[in-house]
Structure 1
Amino acid sequence: MGLDIELVIESSDSDSFSSPSGIAYFSPPRDTDTFIALAGMWEKPCFIPARGFPDPASSMAVAHYGRVIVDTVEDADGWGTATISRELANECLESKRSHALDYTGEWISAPQYAYPGWLRLHELKSALEFSGIETSHLSTDFQLAMDVMKSIEMRGGFSRMVFWFDY
């Protein structure tokens, strides 16, 4: 039960994440409790409400979360990522199913994605604890994502988890 969680682990040399690098993409199995811990839903609180998609974000996060707006099918060739027609993009922006992304070219969030946010490792741990979720009960994918974050920070870098949900 729940929505599919998608996430990218980013690293940065600075706490400001002015030039984040995408390190790994994960798509853990559906898990309602983790979903609620990250974003809060169905009148259940979470430790830190979803903050929206970060700006700036790594090219990896943008490529997984976004769609390139194209005028014609021929324009879609060569992007190497998912595209969306200008007509559908305009509809999605108007209905607020998508939002514009600041990146090279014209990008919007994929219309099937919702509740984007980001958490640093200490915030993620607090969010899970607040929701009563033990790390050992998380999926292997989610545990690996946290391990990547720990590894980045053990080496003196900064890490964050950028997440969103696919419905």
Structure 2
Amino acid sequence: MSLKETIETEYKNALKAKDKSKISTYRLILSSIKDLDITNRSGPEKKETDDEDIKKLLKKMVKQRAESIEIYKKNNRTDLLEVEQNEYDILTSFLPKQLSEEDTKKICEEIISKTGAASVKDMGKVMGALKKDYSDEIDFAKAGSLIKELLNK
């Protein structure tokens, strides 16, 4: 079953359960996927929307929710924070499990030694290797700051 079909099934289950917060989040996801379909069908490179496209879209949506959560925490808006947190949890449930900061650091250290990176100038090599091998499991915003930290030692 494709990722889109899984999301549609979850949406139908939420409708049956009359879970308003899940329904609105699934509608948001499905409408974003529909927009992505339209974009992929028109334009110079026509293609079908696949699971990788949907994962990229979900990662973007998760990042937006994470930024909003930080803002709401700073401004003590618990009402809005709850809504964003629920959306964040639903969105992340469709993505592969992200590695912990410890595991990410270990992997970054391994790749730095493999690529022979010595300074921040070599960061592109390290990030390229990371993306090739761990594109789904690593949060690259965190990895970027970790790599800078490790290369500046």
Query: Same-fold call, TM > 0.5?
Result: no
Larger Rg: 2
Higher strand residue share: 1
Higher helix residue share: 2
Q: Which of the pair has the greater relative contact order for Cα pairs under 8 Å at 6+ separation? A: 1
